[in-house]
Amino acid sequence: MKHIKYLLLTLTIIVGLTGCDMGDFGDLNKNPNKPSDAYTSMLFTFSSRYVRNFVMTSYSYDPWPMEWTGYLSESKNNQYGPLQTTVNFGTADYYRYAIKNLNTIISMNEDATVKNTAIVASFGSNDNQIAVAKTLRAFFYMTLTDILGPIPYSDAFKGESDGIWTPKFDSQESIYASLDAELQAAFAQFDTNGSLTDADILYKGDISKWKKFNATIRMLMAIKMADVDATNGKARFAKAYADGGMTEVKDGFNYTFDSQTNGWSWMYYIGNTSYSSATFNFVPNSVIVNALKDYKDNRLFTYFDLIGYKGNRTGDPTDFNAYYGVPFGLESNDAVTAASSKCCSVAAKYCEQSATYGVITTARALLVQAEAAELGWITADPKALYEAGIRASFEFSSAEGVEDYIKTTKVALSTDKTEALKQIVMQRYLAGFLTDGVEAWSDWRRYNIPVLPIEAGQAVNGITVYPYRMQYSDTDKQYNAENAKAAIDQYLGGSDNRWKRVWWDTKDNI
């Protein structure tokens, strides 16, 4: 009966997969949309695919995490730039598919009647499957709460067990505490003597890397607590740092697209001239282009191509002054097209079908550790961590000249704590092009780095600062109206808008 239960549950979870090529998941019937058994490997692969949404697009054609952090702009119209378009973020698919799949993996590996059968054991050891599923689940929850603030957590998925079909929204503070505790438990459960199969499309079954990612997630949460709960933030960070986070570029949490299992790169559809529908609707933002030019930063030449989307740019591709970006939020479509007439374009490597994007890079992990060291949260040399983070970014982006770059006046770490913290966060920004999307936005919310200029098309609409959070989708509010309203009233001052702040965001950026 348990076997049948998990089969039925899995069929419910993967509804909607018709027409998707999910690759080789083991023993399937001739009809690939009706699996004979609920393989945990298949569930994990499908959940892993949702990671790509948090690189830059967050499940939307509008790449708002890259627009709201100064990385991308529109090239042909003024649809998103004025920041007036109603933007909301739906969580339904993350709960219904990504997180529910991971819950099922955990349940199957804890169920004595199922955990030793082929449908489970073929993916790897029970302990490693549980630990990896809990770690990836925590990443999803962390990112969702960083985007929205309060979300369903403690009551989520209690419909069948407790009859709770409309879960309450938990505070971000309590979610962070619960996630840290669960991640510590998962960390202790990992068995580095074992591995998982290639159904783990993220780390190819390398448990040592999953452990580093686990510790890194805990550090990412802890550092964001610096302005709201430094005592607990410091304690959690120190424990995670002692456990050991990402330190080498190969440790990075990346997503590689392909045309079979993992889907095509989002940028491929809009930036590759070999694709018949390529429109180049998004181009480099002038904020990141100008910052890299100001720093004489060779990553400029690896992030962008000199030939613009109209194909009419010429010049020396190693000349900083040959590159131009487009401001985000100009006053009209004509102003946008005029600015984009001489802009550079996103580098071709990001527009390939099988492009690799950094979701959480080692560069970010090391630079977060540098911030903690500068704050005195860990016993470590902030300068060494800072420089290691910059080196990791140059290596990941295949840029040259890092040793000379580190010695320049603007980059060499200051002995003044306040200035050093600004430099560390700025280097996270410079390292974050088309990576670390939501985390980069979190940095801006905490530090206002970089300063995002308010353009004419935004100012005329009364915009004085970029958004601090996303709004709940109509669907999320409609089907859980009472609890959504309670959360908005209790945690968001009674208004669900983009200029309310999440729990850890306390600084005035205006």
Q: Provide the 10 A C-beta neighbour count for residue 296.
A: 14
Please tell me whether residues 130 and 214 are part of one structural domain.
yes
For residue range 166-185, what is the model confidence (pLDDT) as tens digits? Answer: 999 999 999 999 999 999 99
Torsion-angle region of residue 9: left (phi > 0), alpha (psi -120 to 50) or beta? alpha
Examine residue 284 and say whether the peptide bond preceding it is cis (omega within 30 degrees of 0).
no
Distances (CA, A) of 439 to 111, 112, 219, 485: 36, 39, 12, 27
Q: Is residue 335 domain-resident? A: no
pLDDT at 26: 38
pLDDT, residue 417, reads: 97
| Cβ-contact 68, 441 below 8 angstroms | yes
Looking at residue 8, its pLDDT comes to: 43
The reply to whether 443 falls in a domain is: no
| Residues 122 and 204 both lie in one domain | yes
Residue 486 lies in a domain: yes
pLDDT at 257: 84
| Residue 470 DSSP class | P
Q: Tell me the CA distances in angstroms from 428 to 17, 183, 390, one per residue in order.
A: 37, 24, 8
In 179-281, at which residue ranges do the beta strands (DSSP E only) sit? 253-256
Torsion of CA 132, 137, 138, 140, to 10 degrees: 130
Domain identity same for 142 and 240: yes
As a whole number of angstroms, the distance between CA 187 and CA 208 comes to: 10
Note whether residue 269 is domain-resident.
Answer: no
- Find tokens 């609920």 and name the residue: 38
The 3-state secondary structure of 403-425 reads HHHHCCCCCCCCCCHHHHHHHHH
Query: What is the per-residue pLDDT for 258?
Result: 76
Give me the sign of the Cα torsion angle 207, 212, 216, 219: positive
- Chain Cα centroid distance, residue 227: 22
Give yes or no: residues 103 and 220 share one domain.
Answer: yes
The whole-number pLDDT of residue 38 equals 81
What single-letter amino acid sits at 28?
Answer: L
Residue 189 forms part of a structural domain: yes
Q: Are 249 and 311 in contact (CB under 8 A)?
A: no
Q: pTM here?
A: 0.91
CB 93 within 8 A of CB 52: no
Extract the runs of DSSP E, i.e. beta strands, from 267-317.
282-284, 304-305
Are residues 103 and 167 both part of a single domain?
A: yes
Same domain, 2 and 140: no
Cα 181 vs. chain centroid, distance in angstroms? 21
Residue from 496, 493, 460, 461 nearest 87 by CA: 496
Whether 426 is in a domain gets the answer no
Residues 136, 218 within the same domain: yes
Report how far residue 215's alpha carbon sits from residue 239's, in angstroms, rounded to the nearest whole number: 9
Q: Domain holding 116: CATH number? A: 1.25.40.390
First to last CA, the chain: 59
- The reply to whether 214 and 98 lie within a common domain is yes
Decide: 199 and 129 in contact? Cβ < 8 Å: no
Q: In 217-290, which ranges are E strands?
A: 253-256, 282-284
Q: What is the largest CA-CA distance in the chain?
A: 69
Residue span of the structural domain in which 5 resides:
1-38
Q: 88 φ, ψ to 5°? A: -140, 165
**Are residues 241 and 98 part of one domain?**
yes
Q: What are the per-10-residue average pLDDT scores of the chain (510 residues)?
A: 47 38 36 61 95 70 88 90 85 95 97 97 98 98 98 96 96 98 98 95 97 98 98 98 98 85 52 44 94 98 79 77 94 93 87 87 98 98 98 98 98 98 98 92 96 95 94 94 97 95 83
For the record, the structure tokens of 131 come out as 């630990």
Q: Is residue 434 part of a domain?
A: no
Q: What is the pLDDT of residue 238?
A: 98
Report if residue 356 sits inside a domain.
no
23 and 104 part of one domain: no
Same-domain pairing of 146 and 3: no
- Report the number of distinct structural domains present in the chain: 2
CA nearest neighbour of 304 among 453, 319, 388, 294: 319
For residues 113 and 238, state if they share a domain: yes
- Per the CB < 8 A criterion, the answer to whether 96 and 12 are in contact is no
